[in-house]
């Protein structure tokens, strides 16, 4: 047996080294933990501050140099307003502008000495770490900086990773919110065309349980005609062979017992490396667009007929007047019909011009103060003269001689349209009533007839473009009520109708007493008044 020699006691230097190794091990372990970021950083600052003999410390994020953000603090609170401004400006400038460790000594009892190091990765400034001591402790020395330098890099990496993770999580949440709120259905498929994800619009569009979607290929859900079937095949081929692909085509889907027209956009998903990982399909319900296209076709046919009929009438009567000798008495009825058909042409052309202005947002208003009773009487008078043998007209305005702020020509256009429709849809005559009443902050105008009425299923559509309640019974372009709605809404008013089949209809609109043009001003955003922000701003000058 060899005699054992006891180990010599550790020196002060070796004890400090052991303590430092233990400190760093503990700090790095904390930085690797998940959980409360501010709590973990405060613990790191606390243990570093204890090792340095600091009274307190704080950590600042430099993602925005004009607004340094406090991430964590430990120990005594640091009050910037008690510090010498020039010294503090210089301290922050060294750390965040020059990216150099620095030490200052102050004359303040709260912090007689400060040390700070920048947190930098490959030249990218992430933040800054600062500690301070107060009397009676001795000031910081440059020998204290290496320890902070050892901790600064892993701390900067940790903060950057956390910022990336937070930023990615925020972007992912934002993207998921955008996808979820999309009106169009969005399907993601793998390289075999199997559905791997979808948004809320797809659920609403197809009405299938979530679990069933994941068992289907995308082409199980949609169909297309022979004309576009090659696009379906080309997309599947591009998915399997990893080729870029983009196309669009019409298709249909089954929604219960209804077949819904849709438009599909196909795109393959291409990674930055160029690898194809799957595809995305955007599915849009085009039922409304299809209805508008159909109504446009009907409108073109209607306009062609509406133009052809008066032109044929005018041409025929003019030819008759030219080829046959006629006295004044014989000419007058023909001239009246020619005048009526010319007006019909003018109204149709004006409707098409107004439609063009509305679609290009060029329908302007010339607002004036006018008397409401005078405006309605001027619109009603031609109808009273023209239809006095078939219809009776009643007018009630309360209060009389009251004023309204509006475009008189455009409001007259709405009134003439309402009265004209009331006459048109009262083929057997009867009373047509007009009433205008001033309420607290608006005017309400109603035109009521005792005509054939409007079916319940048609009433919600009477203000749609190109819509006509009964295409066989009455003539017209289907634009008058649509234009009237645009005119009233551009005045800031409302428009509507109610009707009972066989008992008549009431069309109404309301207008504000005074059009308001003022827009609320946006509040001015105020910046932070922190001294550290002033220090950075000053350093930029």
The predicted structure's pLDDT at residue 50: 87
- Structural class in CATH, domain 183-285: alpha beta
Domain ranges of the chain: 13-172, 183-285, 290-359, 368-512
Q: Distance (Å, rounded) from C-alpha 347 to C-alpha 28?
A: 82
Report whether 394 contacts 432 (CB < 8 A).
yes
Residue 228 tokens, joined: 């576009």
Q: How confident is the model at residue 479 (pLDDT cuts 50, 70, 90)?
A: confident
Q: How confident is the model at residue 470 (pLDDT cuts 50, 70, 90)?
A: low
Report whether 462 contacts 469 (CB < 8 A).
yes
Alpha-helix residue ranges (DSSP H) falling in 401-457: 408-424
Q: Distance (Å, rounded) from C-alpha 467 to C-alpha 384?
A: 27
Residue 339 has pLDDT above 90, yes or no: no
This prediction's pTM? 0.45
Pick the CATH number of 290-359 from 1.10.3720.10, 1.20.1440.130, 2.40.37.10, 1.10.287.130: 1.10.287.130
Residue 270 tokens, joined: 């291409």
Dump pLDDT digits (tens) for 65-87: 777 888 888 888 887 777 778 88
Domains 13-172 and 183-285 share a fold: yes
Radius of gyration of the chain (CA): 40
The predicted structure's pLDDT at residue 492: 92
Dump pLDDT digits (tens) for 289-336: 877 777 677 667 766 766 776 788 788 888 888 888 888 888 888 888
- Kindly list the distances between the CA atom of residue 225 and the CA atoms of 93, 222, 228, 258, in Å, as whole numbers in the listed order: 69, 11, 6, 17
Residue 236 has pLDDT above 90, yes or no: yes
CATH of domain 368-512: 3.30.565.10
**Percent of all residues in the chain with a pLDDT value above 70, rounded to a whole number:** 83
- Kindly list the distances between the CA atom of residue 100 and the CA atoms of 58, 94, 145, in Å, as whole numbers in the listed order: 17, 6, 11
Residue 107 has pLDDT above 80, yes or no: no
The predicted structure's pLDDT at residue 33: 59
Q: How confident is the model at residue 538 (pLDDT cuts 50, 70, 90)?
A: very low
The CATH architecture to which 13-172 belongs is: 2-Layer Sandwich (3.30)
């Amino acid at each position: 047996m060899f005699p054992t020699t006891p180990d010599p006691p550790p020196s002060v230097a070796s004890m400090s080294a052991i303590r430092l190794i233990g400190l760093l091990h503990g700090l790095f372990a904390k930085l690797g933990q998940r959980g409360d970021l501010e709590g973990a950083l405060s613990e790191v600052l606390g243990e570093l501050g204890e090792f340095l003999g600091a009274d307190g410390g704080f950590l600042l994020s430099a993602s925005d140099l004009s607004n340094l953000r406090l991430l964590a603090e430990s120990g005594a609170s640091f009050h910037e307003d008690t510090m010498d401004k020039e010294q503090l400006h210089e301290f922050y400038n060294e750390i965040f502008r020059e990216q150099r460790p620095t030490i200052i000594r102050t004359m303040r009892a709260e912090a007689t000495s400060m040390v700070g190091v920048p947190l930098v990765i490959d030249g990218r400034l992430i933040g800054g770490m600062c500690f301070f001591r107060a009397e009676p402790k001795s000031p910081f020395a440059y020998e204290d900086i290496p320890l902070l330098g050892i901790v600064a890099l892993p701390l900067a990496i940790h903060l950057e990773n956390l910022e990336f993770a937070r930023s990615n999580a925020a972007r992912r949440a934002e993207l998921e919110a955008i996808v979820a709120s999309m009106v169009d259905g969005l399907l993601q498929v793998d390289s075999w065309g199997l559905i791997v994800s979808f948004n809320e619009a797809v659920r609403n569009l197809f009405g299938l349980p979530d679990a069933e979607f994941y068992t289907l290929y995308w082409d199980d859900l949609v169909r297309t005609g022979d004309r576009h079937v090659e696009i379906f095949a080309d997309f599947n081929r591009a998915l399997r062979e990893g080729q870029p692909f983009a196309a669009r085509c019409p298709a249909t889907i089954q929604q219960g017992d209804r077949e819904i027209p849709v438009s599909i956009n196909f795109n393959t998903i291409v990674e930055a490396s160029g690898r194809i990982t799957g595809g995305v399909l955007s599915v849009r319900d085009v039922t409304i667009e299809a209805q508008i296209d159909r109504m446009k076709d009907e409108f073109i046919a209607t306009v062609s007929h509406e133009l052809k009929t008066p032109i044929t009438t005018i041409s025929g009567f003019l030819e008759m007047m030219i080829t046959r000798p006629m006295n004044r008495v014989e000419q007058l009825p023909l001239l009246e019909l020619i005048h009526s058909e010319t007006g019909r042409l003018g109204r149709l052309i004006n409707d098409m011009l107004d439609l063009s202005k509305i679609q290009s947002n060029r329908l302007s208003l010339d607002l004036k103060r006018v008397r409401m009773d005078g405006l309605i009487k001027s619109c009603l008078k031609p109808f009273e003269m023209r239809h006095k043998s078939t219809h009776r007209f009643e007018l009630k305005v309360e209060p009389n001689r009251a004023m309204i702020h509006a475009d008189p020509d455009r409001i007259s256009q709405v009134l003439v349209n309402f009265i004209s429709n009331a006459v048109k849809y009262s083929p057997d005559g009867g009373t047509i009533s007009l009433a205008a009443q001033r309420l607290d902050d608006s005017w309400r105008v109603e035109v009521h007839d005792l005509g054939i009425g409007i079916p319940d299923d048609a009433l919600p559509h009477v203000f749609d473009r190109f819509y006509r309640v009964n295409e066989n019974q009455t003539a017209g372009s289907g634009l008058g009520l649509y234009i009237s709605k645009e005119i009233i809404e551009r005045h800031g008013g409302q428009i509507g109708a109610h009707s009972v089949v066989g008992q008549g209809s009431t069309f109404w609109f309301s207008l504000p007493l005074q059009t308001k043009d003022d827009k609320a001003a946006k509040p001015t955003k105020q910046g932070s008044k922190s001294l550290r922000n002033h220090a950075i701003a000053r350093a930029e000058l």
